[in-house]
Structure 1
């Protein structure tokens, strides 16, 4: 007969619900209730219902093999399950499976380094917790997964994680994989992958990783987060150390809020259509910081892509509309000055001596690539060895704060785009080498400065701009050697003269190199300039030297 357990204390299922109780006893198990049977160390669940598991199972498996219309819930209330041949928990057949981590419970799963399949044609399961059907994980207990074969937690369909579970995964391949989608609204996650990704959704026709909350520490042998279609973050905290990309999405990559700290990556954030509306983002990358690129899986039909990108575009302020600064460092941001000295050539690069003369510029080409980076708000700090912001397409900025510590090598730039870079709001400071330096497009509605020094400046050398009356508008200390500075702000105005200094000291408060509320002690005066055009070049052209 079914046994009524104290599920109300677990905080998940009403005490009125009946659950089958499965007690794990080393090499075997006992079942009190219906819907489950034991053969050796294999527990097979064959009916819809709720099953509460507790105890230890050595070298066994919990197998869900229920009808295709059966809803199955597994309450893990202090279990330790290991297998030397397969997945400790395998949802082979059902309509959907829910794994509930009982409040206060500690649960662990570990699998084998080599799986044994019934035939050579089979390759599933391939995760310590594997499901062929939709999988939901909820509750407030903990789950530790040691995946010695491949993935830690994996489903061929949709994966939902809700509540406040504490989940630790140590996997050879992907830590958590939902083929069609991953939807997480809460929890604490420590995800470690030796060769794979931290979070992965791999359906090339339509997949989504949706982060609505939770705290994540990800160490990945490949990408921290990888979606073969779309990624959206609305809340939560991501801390990522990755051998590959920090966050990679083939098509739409949207950040509406939350905190992202990419401590190491090849490319920090990469996608086809990147939209940042808010949030705090820190990126360290050995290649590009934020990269817009053509999707690899271009065989995917464009109809879905056009539809989703249109929805994202609807959230972008209208052309010419100035966005706010979004998240700002403590103390607020200082206003910014204007100047002009040397012209920009037709390509948007600084013209050599004798070829100056205030050309409107940026470095945009006539690229017709549909891919883009839109920044409408947020606080973004990039430290990149490659390009800081790299768009194989266009860039649009309407608000937010963007601080870029770009490359020291001459063949990359703090900003790199193929089409146009329209800026109408927000604060932009981008430093790096001068050889490939680009400023926003001359068609922008907000003024910009492109400053190129004659020689490279050392890391932490202050860049200071003040009005001719002595009003401080920018003090910034780049984190690396630099020779070029791109600067844009809503406070820049035509006809105002500014003094540009390098060196000196400030007793203000620095946040990510940006100073506020301090007094500047002058270093050397580099130039005094008056802005006369949308993009004003100051100094001379040249690579880092």
Structure 2
């Protein structure tokens, strides 16, 4: 199925999400090759068990291809030399006119620019023209507008000559009616590459802006912009180069809201470092990362909602390295988030990763080192990868718009009503350190595989496990350690046996589980204070007797019996009775 077309007059969150592919197919991986037609990047992504709609390949396939001018489409030997001489310029061939400090290029071709100019370079070529500007040591400063402006052309490329150092700077401000409102502005598809360097000062608004596609395929590019650093309205694709950007607004942006196949950002290569006041990556439709190194620091005020990576439809990560520090969410989607591979590291003031619909992890390494809530979505699925979450509140939170907190207290989830949210874990490794609930669903939790360790809360108002619609375990290994006041155990009807014990310990204590014969079934070292232990694996026999030890304290329990004062799955964050004394075994079968 296809995702919805975003209607300009309808708020994105209300536009009705249809989550299928959202996508593009390939941009050349380097600045030395590539053509206007694009190449498929799917071979680099190993697909795990994940909804195909969130696979980066599927997401890209459903989008309109971005236009990229490859280096093999033109020759520097054909270049017309344009020498910038302060307030004027001279040219060695036709297609160039000079009027004071304005240099106008009016024909298709290759133009090599060198020297300094107090003025602007304007491309006003036929609508079907391809124009290449080779910057070979230029300093262009325009106090009245854009330094380089493309008013008409089909495709334009800016190539940074080998060994060259280039800089452009624009006006300090623009009228609201100004069309060209960036240091480099193009009302056409724009590609920037080459081995040289370029420093861009976007004093009045944006650094680089295109009303069509913007592609970065190479170069060492530094951007300091009052608002957005790089903006491609239809698409922003980055396949190479080294970018260091500072933006008062968004760092990397695509914002077409009239065509559901456009408005996306795709990073397949390059080394990107961004410091921004708003979002690091802001895509009206999709934000896709399949390669490269991306470092984002979203430093806006806490009430500004500065996010690391933000998308209206899908955030899809298949490979590469993504390091995000944000005052709001690290990863955010008004639709869904899918991670198939790569390395993702997040420090967030709010949620580590937040999706209004589905959040799926099928591979890669995802580390949320700091967050309020670690992973939050209506439906959370983990089928592979290595996931580590640290949260001051809930670690995993299956929560949607239908959820309601009956009394507003932490640990109460959505009251005791199953509102349909799901958390499903079938593979991978998951480690959670939570100040609130460790794994919390306002609906159900299903565990069929994977290795799960939950270091839950120390306060009695939360639990290591918390579900409203039941907690079913049929495979994998689960250790959940936390406080006792709101302790929850898996469902009594779970296919895989489990044990639960009320036993206190401190950080550094060894937690050891032995069977009736004295064989050690499981052991680990506690990372924080605790009062209850829940454990499930294929090594636990139904109705078997086990001893759970923590430091010098031990208790004997029977598989399938909930701790006194706690309850089995299905009651969410609702009241769970009093606290059992240390060393008290589970008493009686759960209802």
Partner of 1:506: none
Residues 388, 405 of structure 1: 8 Å contact kept: yes
| Residues paired across the two proteins, number | 437
> Which runs of 5 or more residues in structure 1 are unaligned?
1-6, 295-308, 317-322, 330-368, 503-522
Partner of residue 351, structure 1: none
**For 1:311-460, what aligned pairs fall within 5 Å after superposition?**
327=365, 372-391=379-398, 392=400, 393-406=421-434, 408=435, 413-433=437-457, 435-437=461-463, 438-439=465-466, 442-447=471-476, 448-454=478-484
Segment of structure 1 superposing worse, 15-24 or 225-234: 15-24
Supply the distance in 2 between the matched residues of 1:250 and 1:229 (Cα, whole angstroms).
Answer: 5
State the match for 2:64 in structure 1: none
1:108–1:132 CA distance, 2 compared to 1 (3 A):
same
Flag the 1:252–1:416 CA change in 2: closer, same or farther, 3 A: farther
- Which whole-Å CA distance do the structure 2 matches of 1:71 and 1:291 have between them? 42
Superposition map of 1:138-287 within 5 A: 138-162=193-217, 164-194=218-248, 196-204=249-257, 205-206=259-260, 207-243=263-299, 244-271=306-333, 272-287=335-350
Q: CA deviation at 1:403?
A: 3.4
Matched residue SS, 1:62: strand
Deviates more, 1:22-31 or 1:424-433: 424-433
Corresponding residue for residue 124 of structure 1: 179
Q: How far did residue 283 of structure 1 move?
A: 1.3
Counterpart contact for 2:152–2:188, Cα < 8 Å? yes
* Alpha-carbon distance in 2 for matches of 1:190, 1:56: 23
Relative to structure 1, is the Cα distance of residues 21 and 428 closer, same or farther in structure 2, using a 3 angstrom cutoff? farther
**CA 1:490/1:467 → structure 2, altered by over 3 Å: closer, same or farther?**
closer
Q: Distance in 2 between matches of 1:492 and 1:239?
A: 43
The offset of 1:394, in angstroms, is 3.7
Judge conservation of contact 1:287–1:385 (CA < 8 Å) in 2. no
Determine the structure 2 residue equivalent to 1:342: none
**Does 2:344 match 1:289?**
no
Describe the superposition over 1:191-244 as per-residue Cα deviations: whole angstroms up to 9, x where unpaired: 2112x1111111234321111112222111111111111111111222221131
- The whole-number CA distance in structure 1 between the counterparts of 2:539 and 2:448 is 11
Q: Residue in 2 aligned with 1:19?
A: 79
**SS of structure 2 residue aligned to 1:240:** strand
- The answer (yes or no) to whether the contact 2:74–2:110 under 8 Å persists in 1 is no
The Cα shift of 1:384 comes to 3.7
Displacement after TM superposition at 1:423 (Å)? 3.7
Query: Judging changes above 3 Å, is the alpha-carbon distance between structure 1 residues 71 and 326 closer, same or farther for their aligned structure 2 residues?
Result: closer
SS at match of 1:160: strand
Distance 1:542 1:151 in 2: 58
Q: 1:290 to 1:63 in 2, by over 3 A?
A: same
User: Following the alignment from structure 2 to structure 1, what is the Cα–Cα distance between the partners of residues 147 and 165?
Assistant: 16
Aligned counterparts, 1:394-543, within 5 A: 394-406=422-434, 408=435, 413-433=437-457, 435-437=461-463, 438-439=465-466, 442-447=471-476, 448-454=478-484, 461-462=507-508, 464-468=510-514, 469-470=519-520, 473-475=523-525, 477=527, 494-495=541-542, 523=551, 525=553, 532=560
Tell me how large the CA RMSD over aligned residues is. 4.0
1:214 and 1:55 mapped to 2: Cα distance? 28
Return the TM-score normalized by structure 1: 0.69
- When residues 443 and 432 of structure 1 are mapped into structure 2, their CA distance, relative to the original with a 3 A threshold, is closer
If the length of structure 2 is used for normalisation, what is the TM-score? 0.64
Equivalent-residue separation in structure 2 for 1:405 and 1:453 (angstroms): 13
C-alpha spacing 1:445/1:94, structure 2 compared with 1 (3 Å): farther
Deviation at 1:420, TM superposition (A): 3.8
Instruction: Give 5+ residue unaligned stretches, structure 2.
Output: 1-31, 34-70, 300-305, 368-375, 401-420, 487-505, 567-575, 579-591
- Corresponding residue for residue 172 of structure 2: 113
Aligned-residue offset at 1:78: 1.7
Larger displacement relative to structure 2 (442-451 or 262-271): 442-451
Cα distance 1:165–1:383, how it changes in 2: closer, same or farther (>3 A)? farther
How far apart in 2 are the matches of 1:292 and 1:380?
A: 17
For 1:142-185, what per-residue CA distance to the aligned partner results, in whole angstroms no more than 9, with x for missing partners? 221111111111111112221x3222111111111111211111
